[in-house]
Structure 1
Amino acid sequence: MGLDISAYSKLVAAPDAERDSDGDLVDYENLTEVYDNKDFPGRIEGLTQGIAYKIEGDGADLSIGYGRYNAWRDELAKLAGYPIGTYEQYGRAAESHCVSCWNGAVGPFSEQINFSDCEGTIGPVISAKLAKDYAEFAGKAEAVGGYFWEKYQEFQACFELAADNGAVLFH
């Protein structure tokens, strides 16, 4: 199992999109829906849950295993300069650079670091902020290299797309 991400640019509200008897979109290849994960308020800014959106721009997809994503996200937090902190996991103390963001720190990548690793939408406003963060830290990320740099570029492309009135969907 893993995290799948879809990113789109140029989403246009389509509130009258046709749905089947289960309420699912009939034209799922050209339309999408967004999910506002209430545990992370404000991430969907610029979009509305409950309506369909026509995809008029480009799209991108990426996949990463849950464990690898969480390790990768910790490296992202380290790159951004967040200090290592301690949290409880499965009854034991664990360490992560993400702890500051989980506790409300705001800064580079904080909206992604403190976001679900399985479901929710990041709308165009937050995507634009994250795209800027990715551009600003690209040189440092490239210096890390390897798998981290590979996924960094994929996430950067997703947020750049979504910054253009789009969305990044975690599912």
Structure 2
Amino acid sequence: MSSDGEPQGKNQVILSPVDFPERFRGLESGKVYQFDSSFDFRAGSYSGYNAWRNELAKLAGYQPSASTRNNVVESRYDETVWKLDHGPFWELINFSDAEGVIGPEVCRKVYRDFVQYRDQAAKVPDAYFYESYGDWMKAFEMCADNGAIVFH
């Protein structure tokens, strides 16, 4: 460890839960982790990622709920997910859009969701949605085996 508490080895990181500690299952807070491979991708802008999550919630069969943002009421699928405590992709949709860590136990569950809905996702006419779906699926597959997804 360096004097500022950072790991000094190549491909090392210290992980800690942020706002969703239950998503951290399978990891130890403050531990130095060594990784052999990584996969980075752009999940989109703030609004783009939120639109993608909404489409993912729709794909998974959630019903829409009224959502008020900036004094505008709209019907959103992800709004329904935020009111629940389980379901397909729940751990990803009901998670920070900016920072946090998802541990391997949760990654295994969400990866299974991606596999289950893959054929339906391929039928969504938006090419960006399916490309992002593939990136997320790859990330969850990699991390399901003692890895972690780190939002930053």
Same fold (TM over 0.5): yes
Aligned position for 1:26: 8
Instruction: Report how far residue 96 of structure 1 moved.
Output: 1.4
1:73-119: per-residue Cα shift (whole Å, max 9, x none)? 10000000111112232343333101122112411101000000001
Identity %: 39
Q: Match of 2:110, SS?
A: helix
Higher strand share: 1
**Alignment match, 1:60:** 39
CA displacement, residues 22-56 of structure 1 (integer Å, 9 cap, x when unaligned):
222223x4101223123x24101000111110113
Tell me which stretches of 4 or more aligned residues in structure 1 moved more than 3 Å: none
Verify: 1:116 aligned to 2:84, yes or no.
no
- State which of 147, 150, 163 in structure 1 corresponds to 2:131: 150
Distance, in Å, in 1 between the alignment partners of 2:21 and 2:6 is 25
Match of 1:160 among 133, 137, 141: 141
How many pairs align? 150
Which structure has more relative contact order (CA 8 Å, sep 6+)? It is 1
**Residue from 54, 57, 68 that aligns with 1:88:** 68
Q: In the alignment, which residue of structure 2 is the partner of 1:5? A: none
Q: Give me the TM-score of the superposition, normalised by structure 2.
A: 0.92
One-letter code aligned to 1:160: E
Q: Give the structure with the higher percent helix.
A: 2
Please, which of 68, 86, 106 is the counterpart of residue 106 of structure 1?
86
- Kindly indicate whether the alpha-carbon contact (under 8 Å) linking 2:6 and 2:14 is maintained by their aligned counterparts in 1: no
SS across alignment from 2:75: strand
Distance in 1 between residues matched to 2:24 and 2:65, nearest whole Å: 28
2:63, 2:6 → 1: CA distance?
43
Gaps of 5+ in 1: 1-17
Q: Secondary structure at the match of 2:67?
A: strand
Cα RMSD for the two superposed structures: 1.4
